[in-house]
Structure 1
Amino acid sequence: MMIPIIDLQDALTLGEPRSAQVAREMRAAAMASGFFYVRHHGVDAAQVDAQFALARELLDLPLAARERLAMHLSPSMRGFELMGAQTLDQEARPDLKESFYCGMAYAPDHPYVQAGYQTYGHNQWPAEVPRAPAQCEAYIQAMLGLSRRLMQLMALSLGLPETWFDPTSDSPMVTLRMICYPAHPEGADDRTFGAGAHTDWGAITILAQDSHGGLEVQTPEGHWVPATPIPGCFVVNLGDMIPRWTNGLYHSNPHRVRNLHSGGAPRYSIPFFYEPDYLARIEAVPGTVPDGEVPRYAPCTAGEHLVEMYRRSYALKPHGEEATA
């Protein structure tokens, strides 16, 4: 399987001339592995390079500084994830990676912040890196704009109006994650990964990766193929909300990370996870359920789905129990 490259030239705004062609290419990729590259995506290379520089600076902070801002101390799951804190593949060892999480800066009086919905709320910023909040917010806005456009093209690929998904993006749940993977240990067993095999939880993931590679995608036939870094391109993959929205027509395929090709250097990657509004209804869109059949997935809200995924991956207690510990 080759991961296709989709060129977004002349398709970055509503009604542009190549939008229909791009939508057809997205449909083919979504019905195969759910993975594709995008080029001419409208995000300046200098902004991406600056974000990698920030990632290195954040994840090079002393351990004590990172422990003070550990994500488990944040109700909105923001801050530093320490080595081994997450196990994406329950059959594998804890993941060999460290990361920093942040999200959109919603105001304290936003109703979702007031309600205590997960992923809405404060970020934790290290005082040692004062430029981090503004720089991350700018990168989030660039990724959010691209995510919304990809959702419009996805709507078009399903035979729906381009703006079909727009109402689900009023107050989106978005997560920016900067990750450092150490070199893969010598003599590691086959249960050791930088990130174990998993599917992403949300709608769309947009990944910037450094030149070392290490991301591997499982084909529909069960083989693992590398998602080799391509200069100027992001890797895009569909998350688990998309099969729910398309009644299984579009796929969210497993992927994993092993830092095998860096010559002993750490690997950095920057995934941006786009999830719609917490209360957005995730159910089969028109045209995806054959006549006389019932949908393959039970309807849910985006928030219900995402909270359950966090609980499974981080062994979190049900909402409300944390306060009693």
Structure 2
Amino acid sequence: MASIPVIDLTGALQPGAPRSAEVAEALRAAGTGSGFFYVSGHGVPRALVDAQFALAQRFFDLPLPAKQAIDLRRVPNMRGYESLGAQTLDATARPDLKESFYCGQAYADDHPYVQRGLHSYGRNQWPTELPEMAGQCAAYIAAMQALALRLMQLMALSLELPEDFFDHTHENPMGTLRLLRYPPHPADADERTFGAGAHTDWGAITILAQDSHGGLEVQMPDGQWLAATPMDGCFVVNLGDMIPRWTNGRYHSNPHRVRNVASGGAPRHSIPFFYNPDYEARVEPVATCVPAGTRPLYEPCTVGEHLREMYAKTYGAGNGAAAMA
């Protein structure tokens, strides 16, 4: 029976650590399968994760006008609040039943990428009612960024590349933290109603913390939908659409969706961190994944070019293209 593997990162959290090769082999198996896996032994303190969930609860409990005051449409880099039903991840489904808050690593106003108005570069918006939010999110982002960079190094090993192969793409990384609240699934919902419609993630790596209610479902390579049941002390990690580009289709970015059907009428909270490399980093199939005498399956592109295309698909050409300019 299909399952999502658990990869223990203990002894593999630093370059050259003794279990790095073993963990890289496990990552290879996950990448060539569903592209999803749990990670334990990740080194992120439980207290930090618990504090982030508590913060998410406080944020979403704010009055609607307080949240709308920092609507993400007020700024060019899509940071801030997104209302219920604002996104449709599956074009064949109804608008997603979720509300969210976006933030990320802050870049100064004089940074060249901020000056160019590139997506995900710039300042965050914070609610005045939660003065602790900026510091808490910055600490969580730093922990997720470090874990994502290590996973990219382990991925390089899994592809028979030097451990530092991807390090040069991290100069000005794009890390987006999203706080999500899903209301209870409607009792009269039809088959086109989801908290988040079926989709693949667009970037490199997603690291997800989810509450105890569950609701995440992953489509396995055989087409079966499998519940990604919450596991104590673990994150769910999935590979985004950049990874098939880098691996010439060897590693997979599989669809997933959310239905908040097992919470007993309570809202579901989840906290994904979307890791993307530098906006100008080049993405093209690595040599170890292109058999001799064959042509790569993907044309080279930059991280920014890839993300502009994906945002335009799910937000509409006007909104998405403008946000990614």
Give me the TM-score of the superposition, normalised by structure 1: 0.97
Does residue 53 of structure 2 align to residue 52 of structure 1? yes
CA distance in 2: counterparts of 1:286 and 1:137, whole angstroms = 36
Question: Residue in 2 aligned with 1:228?
Answer: 229
Work out the CA distance in 2 between the residues paired with 1:321 and 1:298.
24
Partner residue of 1:185?
Answer: 186
Aligned equivalents of 2:200, 2:58: Cα separation in 1: 28
Partners of 2:319 and 2:174 in 1: CA distance: 19
Distance 1:7 1:93, change over 3 A: same
Shift in Å at residue 154 of structure 1? 0.1
1:112 deviates by: 0.7
Question: What SS class does the counterpart of residue 190 from structure 1 fall into?
Answer: coil
1:99 aligns with 2:70: no
- Residue type at the aligned position of 1:114: Q
Partner of 2:143: 142
Structure 1 stretch displaced more, 65-74 or 131-140: 65-74
Shift of 1:320: 8.0
Q: How many residues align?
A: 322
Q: Which amino acid aligns with 1:93?
A: R
> How far apart are the structure 2 equivalents of 1:315 and 1:302?
19
Whether the aligned pair in 1 keeps the contact of 2:107 and 2:114 (CA below 8 Å) is: yes
Deviations 1:25-53, CA, capped at 9 Å, x for gaps: 00000000000000010000000000000
Residue deviations 1:121-171, cap 9 Å, x none? 111100000001111011000000000000000000000000000000110
Deviations 1:224-269 (A, max 9, x none): 0000000000000000000000000000000000000000000000
| Aligned counterpart, 1:302 | 303
| Contact 2:308–2:321 (8 Å) recurs in 1 | no
The 5 Å alignment of 1:122-141 reads: 122-141=123-142
One-letter amino acid of the structure 1 residue matched with residue 262 of structure 2 = H
Structure 1 residue 173: Cα displacement:
0.7
Question: Within 5 Å, which residues of 2 pair with 1:188-227?
Answer: 188-227=189-228
**1:321–1:245 CA distance, 2 compared to 1 (3 A):** closer
Look up the SS of the partner of 2:273 in the other structure.
Answer: strand
Alignment pair present for 1:29 and 2:36: no
The answer to whether the 8 Å contact 2:313/2:320 transfers is no
Please give the residue correspondences for 1:235-246 in structure 2 after superposition, counting only pairs within 5 Å: 235-246=236-247
Question: Matched residues in 2 for 1:71 and 1:311: separation?
Answer: 16
RMSD: 1.1
User: For structure 2, which runs of at least 5 residues remain unmatched after alignment?
Assistant: none
Tell me which residue corresponds to 2:7. 6
CA contact (8 A) 2:170 2:278 kept: yes
1:316 Cα offset (Å) = 4.1
Q: Distance in 2 between matches of 1:265 and 1:321?
A: 36
Separation in structure 1 between the aligned mates of residue 313 and residue 15 of structure 2, nearest angstrom: 38
Evaluate the alpha carbon distance shift between residue 317 and residue 205 of structure 1 in structure 2; reply closer, same or farther with a 3 A threshold: same
Shift of 1:318: 7.2
Give the corresponding residue for 1:278: 279
Deviation, 1:55, is 0.5
Indicate the residue corresponding to 2:88 in structure 1: 87
Tell me the distance in 2 between the aligned counterparts of 1:320 and 1:177: 20
Measured against aligned partners, the alpha-carbon deviations of 1:89-139 in whole angstroms (never above 9, x if no partner) come to: 000000000000001011111111111111111111000000011110110
Paired with 1:162 and 1:86, the residues of 2 have a C-alpha distance of 37
Which stretch shows the higher mean deviation, 194-203 or 107-116?
Answer: 107-116
Q: Which runs of 4+ in 1 moved over 3 A?
A: 318-322
Shift in Å, 1:61: 1.1
Measure how far apart 1:287 and its partner are: 1.1
CA contact (8 A) 2:178 2:272 kept: yes
Partner-residue secondary structure (3-state), 1:277: coil
